[in-house]
Amino acid sequence: MKIEEQPTTVIAVAHLIGRVEQFRKGGFRLVQMNATQVGDEFEINYSFEKDYRFENLRLIIPAETEVPSISGMYWGAFVYENEMHDLFGIAVKGMNIDFNGNFIRTKVRYPFRNPTFQGEGPCQRK
Amino acid sequence: MSKKIVVPFGPQHPVLPEPIHLDLVLEDETVIDVVPSIGYIHRGLETLVAKREFTEYVYVAERTCGICSFIHGMTYCQGVEQIMDLEIPARAHYLRTIWSEYSRLHSHLLWLGLFADAMGFENLFMNSWRLREFVLDVLEETTGGRVIQGSCKVGGVRRDISDEKLAAMAGDLKSFETELSDLSEVFLHDDSLKSRLVGVGTLSRTDAYDLGAAGPVARGSGVAIDLRKTGYAAYRELRFEPATESAGDCYARCAVRIRELFSSIDLIRQAVETMPEGEIEVKVKGMPDGEYFSRSEQPRGELVHYLKGNGTKHLVRSRIRTPTLTNVPSLVKMLQGCELADVPVIVLSIDPCIGCMER
């Protein structure tokens, strides 16, 4: 039995701001944003909720595509957008607080983009 | 106008159990802006899905946090089960609920102790942690682990609790509840505590909702969001209402957590009374192919494990969004306009878990 329905709508980058604005005006809160690398592309999910109704918008973009920030509508989005930039190297344009790659400081640049697992030991070689 | 100065707060600070850095922009003693930064303990746990089979990754998920480890493990398992359309036995749902609520008791008591200590009330700190030992003993007796329980697995749970032990647990909650009432009296009614908390670090209801606040931070500002209401585990069968306060200050967030302690006791009692008989796990067949945003209510608020599988034994993505990350924007808002001396108390009032947040 599904705990809840989780509809996901795939949209183009050009429609992102308009669709997010609709959620904003509809009284939805921003739950999270995340990125997933699928081959040479990235999937970016934007999750919203109102009265326990959970909905997602999804962008599927080539790796070097710049996406617009939604922090103008959801101020708190800067944590997710900076995280996406620092871990995946996704360029986000117009963030209200841009840490310029210093929000999550990592030894390896963009560690979640093609992770290499350096330094693995014998117990990991299964 | 006074000259602006920037005071660094953290990552090492007496009130911070874990590292976060804040650049506090001050005018005299008033904080006018805050810039947070993290990344001191980023472990990259999410990438380990590529190295661990989906049934093994639960051990990694549990180690995301040393406080709400059980709920991380449960939320991960729940996500995989949703992708695979696995229907786990009702008894497993109830056992997961009981251990989740004991985790909440342990986490809130830990926080109460740290909160008291941050304000200089060391006796209150010791009393909170003395009570917490009772909860940790139960977790150890029933799962074998005080911190990392390891009792959740994809398809159910690894251990059962005998009916005799369940009855004893319910009985022991009476004296625990009495002692908790005494402790709550001090936290909620002591004048010197109130003077440190009332009207400090206020977050309005609108700001809490707009900034995506979660858990006691949101409920302390009157936003009645509690993911247990979605009915995961056995919560669908149990009666409870989210604890809310309206003032949005440090006192309100403290009051919400105290009310949730009693709510957790009630939920454990209900679960023990209505515990169904039967199996505690089902056999897992096949590989996860699909995606799911598994959501649960951690002690600190809404937890999201996004899981995506492609029909192989390794998931292609695990993304863990913890409540502390989503409470960072709210923290920035709370700190704007406060006095420098109140910063430690306000930071602690969101119950920050940085290890959890950075994964």
Identify the CATH number of the domain in which residue A79 sits: 3.30.460.80
Give residue A118's pLDDT band: very low, low, confident or very high (50, 70, 90).
low
pLDDT at A119: 53
pLDDT at A39: 82
Chain centroid offset of residue A96 CA: 16
CA angle B82, B84, B90 (to 5 degrees): 55
Sheet holding A53-62, edge to edge: A8-11, A53-62, A41-50, A29-38
In a domain, A56, yes or no: yes
pLDDT at B125: 92
Q: Are A45 and A70 in contact (CB under 8 A)?
A: no
Chain B residues touching A86 at Cβ < 8 A = 39
Higher pLDDT: A111 or A32? It is A32
Interface check for B59 against chain A (CB to CB < 8 A): the answer is no
In a domain, A35, yes or no: yes
Residue type, B228: R
Under DSSP, the state recorded for A2 is: -
> Are B319 and A105 an interchain contact pair (Cβ–Cβ within 8 Å)?
no
> Are B38 and A2 an interchain contact pair (Cβ–Cβ within 8 Å)?
no
Distance from CA of A59 to the nearest CA of B (A): 15
Cis peptide bond upstream of B299, omega within 30: no
State residue B18 phi and psi, 5-degree precision.
-140, 160
pLDDT at A109: 83
What residue numbers bound the domain in which A91 lies? 8-107
Distance from CA of A76 to the nearest CA of B (A): 5
Q: Does domain B44-326 have CATH number 3.90.1010.10?
A: no
pLDDT at A125: 52
* CA distances in angstroms from B119 to A56, B115, B248, B255, B346, listed in the order given: 42, 7, 19, 16, 11
Split into its structural domains, chain A has a count of: 1
> Are B82 and A79 an interchain contact pair (Cβ–Cβ within 8 Å)?
no
Q: Are B11 and B40 in contact (CB under 8 A)?
A: yes
- Cite the DSSP H helix spans in B198-350: 205-210, 216-219, 250-273, 323-335, 343-349
In a domain, A52, yes or no: yes
- Which helix (H) or strand (E) segment holds residue A33: the answer is strand A29-38
> Are A3 and B232 an interchain contact pair (Cβ–Cβ within 8 Å)?
yes
Alpha-carbon gap, residue A58 to A42, rounded angstroms = 10
What is the signed CA dihedral for B336, B104, B230, B279, rounded to 10 degrees? Answer: 160
In this structure, what token pair is assigned to residue B35? 């810039």
Which has the closest alpha carbon to B217: B102, B297, B284, B118?
Answer: B297
User: Is the pLDDT confidence value at A126 over 60?
Assistant: no
Alpha-carbon gap, residue A17 to B11, rounded angstroms = 35
Within chain B, how many helices (H) and strands (E) appear? Answer: 12, 8
Beta carbons within 10 angstroms of residue A95's beta carbon: 19
pLDDT at B269: 93
pLDDT at A124: 52
Give residue A69's pLDDT band: very low, low, confident or very high (50, 70, 90).
very high
Section A15-25 average pLDDT: 93
pTM: 0.91
Interface check for B292 against chain A (CB to CB < 8 A): the answer is yes
In a domain, A123, yes or no: no
Beta strand pairing call for A53-62 and A67-68:
unpaired
Total beta-carbon pairs less than 8 A apart between chain A and chain B: 94
- Which helix (H) or strand (E) segment holds residue B128: the answer is helix B122-143
Chain B residues touching A80 at Cβ < 8 A = 325
Beta carbons within 10 angstroms of residue B142's beta carbon: 21
In a domain, A2, yes or no: no
* Ordered per-residue pLDDT tens for chain B, 359 residues: 678 899 998 788 877 777 888 889 998 888 998 888 887 777 778 777 778 888 888 998 998 888 888 999 999 999 999 999 999 999 999 999 999 999 999 999 999 999 998 888 889 999 999 999 999 999 999 998 888 888 999 999 999 999 999 999 988 999 999 999 999 999 999 999 899 999 998 999 999 998 889 999 999 999 999 999 988 988 999 998 999 999 999 999 999 999 999 999 999 999 999 999 989 999 998 899 999 999 999 999 999 999 998 888 888 888 898 998 889 889 999 998 898 888 989 998 988 887 787 77
Please name the residues between 67 and 106 in chain A that touch chain B, using a CB distance below 8 Å.
74-76, 78-80, 83, 86, 97, 99, 102-106
In this structure, what token pair is assigned to residue B32? 């006018």
In a domain, A72, yes or no: yes
User: Is the pLDDT confidence value at A116 over 80?
Assistant: no
